[in-house]
Amino acid sequence: MATTGKAGDDGRPFRHPLDWQNPDFYDMAKIEAEMHRVFDICHGCRRCFNLCDSFPRLFDLIDAAPTGELDSVATADYKPVVDACTLCDLCFMTKCPYVPPHEFNLDFPHLMLRYRAAELHHGRPHEMADELAKTDRNGRLAGLVAPVANWVSLRHNHLTRPILEKTLGIARDAELPKFQRKTFQQQALDAPAINRAAPAFGRKAVLYATCFVEYNNPGIGLATRAILAHNGVETDVAYPGCCGMPQLEQGDIADVAAKARTVAAALKPYIQAGYRVVAPVPSCALMLKFEWPLILPDDPDVALLSKHTSDGSEYIVDIARKEGLAPGLGALEGGITLHIACHARAQNMGQKAAELMRLLPDTKIDVIERCSGHGGSWGVRKEFFEVAIKVGKPAARQAAKNATAFVASECPLAAPHIIQGIERLGGTQPLPETAHPIELFARAYGLDF
């Protein structure tokens, strides 16, 4: 739907660059005035009532106010609306009729981001969420003691999880990702043999590992690399650092900008050598493609990277369309319920994960295009976990009804969260297996990864 930068002559929706280096960006009085303007428009429209918890909170505030209008809502009551926003971008991308170039000029997620950035700028008290967002540090440290870290974080560990909830603010019932002793880069030292007979032979791609693949689930990266090698694609692996999505959620735009400069500079030689950058996690692909150019609109390395980055499923589907896939795909028994990740939808590329899964022969595919409710580190925090379960209940209900063998999502946090939602619904049927779509695709090829 939307592009970055300035509007073209065709009048397509677009987003303004973030003016985060302007002191006015952090002026809370100006921010609250803009929030009043935007919230009043949202109140008159209400199309986004069922997307997340921000809009119900806003509309409940207004409906409970003395006048039933925004003019009798105190600006101090705006913060819970901001806190409920997960920056999924779906209101901007899929619902709002008033995004630029419309004269109302609405960008609800980036306004919520601006509020958080101003809180940080004005000395917001240090929060444990800031520590949870340090994924590179946490991944390196937890990887050194992975078996112990994973035991401590087990959802049913009634000894440690109450302690984590009290000290770190992590909800005791939230499913947490596991850590690996060996990172993706360490496990990917030996490149798989390239199928020179494949139609796409000659392509080159560098896998941007992402913090989750690097520290938590290297299998996603190994599966991607195995699929690409089978299809004739020469691959390399790079991880200069996290994309900064966790810091963006906290409003730390300056830190995101620093990460963008570092990663873009590190990946530039690959692009110059003819490699396509492939990010297997949608949140990270979204950052490289769209968010970084809005934060650093004048950085040539960031602009270059944006033009040469593909989402993992997007890249494989591109091979299927242009050259054709190497033979060998088989069916997956039991069917797949595929959740379309919010940050995949926000990339304005269509349902590439669904297109990928539909390439599997004789396999039933059911698609869910509703938010899982997780929202990154937001969804594991004590104050938001039950809200995250509530927001994801429609997706969980649909997945339970489908009763497939697999629940898959390109967002590696979404599928386990949906499973938790299914558990809350009750029933006696076996729970589906969770996986990334690319892992299932590699399995359908019979590839080892």
Burial (CB count <10 Å: 0-12, 13-18, 19+), residue 161? buried
Phi, psi of 108 (to 5 degrees): -60, -50
CA distance 42 to 431: 39
**Beta-carbon neighbour count of residue 423 at 10 Å?**
15
First to last CA, the chain: 35
Tokens encoding 344:
């995949």
Buried b (16+ CB within 10 A) or exposed e, 26-43: bbeeebbebbeebbebbb
Nearest-10 Cα torsion for 352, 354, 355, 357 = 120
What local confidence, expressed as pLDDT, does residue 416 receive?
95
Domain edges within the chain: 3-121, 128-168, 184-322, 336-445
Nearest to 309, CA basis, from 212, 238, 359, 413: 238
State the pTM of this model: 0.93
What local confidence, expressed as pLDDT, does residue 1 receive?
43
Which amino acid is present at 179? F
What local confidence, expressed as pLDDT, does residue 51 receive?
86
Q: Which CATH number fits domain 336-445: 3.40.30, 1.10.3470, 3.40.50, 3.90.1340?
A: 3.40.50
Query: Do the beta carbons of residue 252 and residue 293 sit within 8 Å?
Result: no
Tokens encoding 70:
């925004």
Q: Which residues of the chain have pLDDT under 70?
A: 1-10, 126, 428
